[in-house]
Amino acid sequence: MNQITLKTPSFEFAGIWPLVTATVEGVSGNYLIDNGVPTLVLNSRYDHAQSMPAQAFSASGELQDIKTRLVSHFEFEDLRLGNQMALVMDLSHFEKETNTIIHGIIGASVLFSRDLLLNYSKKQVGALELDPPGLLESLARVLIGEYHTIPFQMANHLPVIPIRIGEKKLNMALYMGLAVNTINLAHKEYVQQSGLLSGAAPATIMGLSTVKNVTAYSMLSSVVGMGGDVPLGSMKFAFDDISMPGANIDGMLGYEFFAQRVSIARFNRRELVC
């Protein structure tokens, strides 16, 4: 277990994002971790290597004014990857939001190569290899105690788990970079009539190339569905028009979901341990 602890670096928050040090082609910098971003993203303000115009989508929609290039070598702790395709775009709105120099974002395609540990309360993040029998169980008992395993499906690059709000089951994508959880507008009337919402306050949802102002409501309780239900604490939700090519989802769970619990996302097994 001590070896696992040593391989689990601490991080500081930059806004709602874990901020870590990573290296691209020998140059170290500040990188956010966000599974809602499809791949490695480099800030065009600092990356001046040759790149080509491209078209791509993130969880927040089509990306604007982006280029792409091949990264020959990427390192984050003991994770080393070669020949990674990266998006290159202006990330100055992330720097403004976080008041931090941001060299890039570590996105889903990089995170898929390992089991991703997120422990927001202790500011621990890890891209771990938990394949040996019993290793995952031992780690989960130490960090979580009594834990649950929730199977998930994939919608493009996002894990999707079912939750229950009242009597309605919703398929929710897990998106670390959302300050406020979202529910598709198609379910607005039902959720508002459920009696679970209280209060209303302005909030901002920021994507790779979009910034959207929304109204957020506090939801008193909801339940993650699985063999045995896992209750969630109060969280903020906003209603939004959610459309992502090739994905059929009812909403997204963001920062507050991960802040409530220690989570281990096992992408190769398609299960969330929490």
Distance CA 94, CA 103 (A): 10
Q: How many CB atoms lie within 10 A of CB 168?
A: 12
For residue 14, which of 172, 125, 114, 88 has the smallest C-alpha distance?
A: 125
pLDDT of residue 61: 59
Distance CA 133, CA 178 (A): 34
Backbone angles phi, psi at 141, to 5 degrees: -65, -35
pTM of the model: 0.90
pLDDT of residue 12: 92
pLDDT of residue 2: 40
Ordered per-residue pLDDT tens for the chain, 274 residues = 444 444 566 789 999 999 999 999 999 999 999 998 889 999 999 998 888 877 766 555 566 778 899 999 999 988 999 999 999 999 999 999 999 999 999 999 999 989 999 999 999 988 888 877 688 888 889 889 889 899 999 998 999 999 888 888 899 999 999 999 999 999 999 998 888 888 899 998 887 777 889 999 998 777 766 545 777 888 899 999 887 766 789 999 999 999 999 999 999 899 999 8
Distance CA 176, CA 36 (A): 6
Domains of the chain: 2-128 (2.40.70.10), 150-273 (2.40.70.10)
For residue 54, which of 103, 87, 91 has the smallest C-alpha distance?
A: 87
Cβ partners under 8 Å of residue 228, min gap 6: 148
Q: For residue 126, give both structure tokens.
A: 């890890």
pLDDT of residue 29: 97
For residue 110, which of 204, 187, 42 has the smallest C-alpha distance?
A: 42
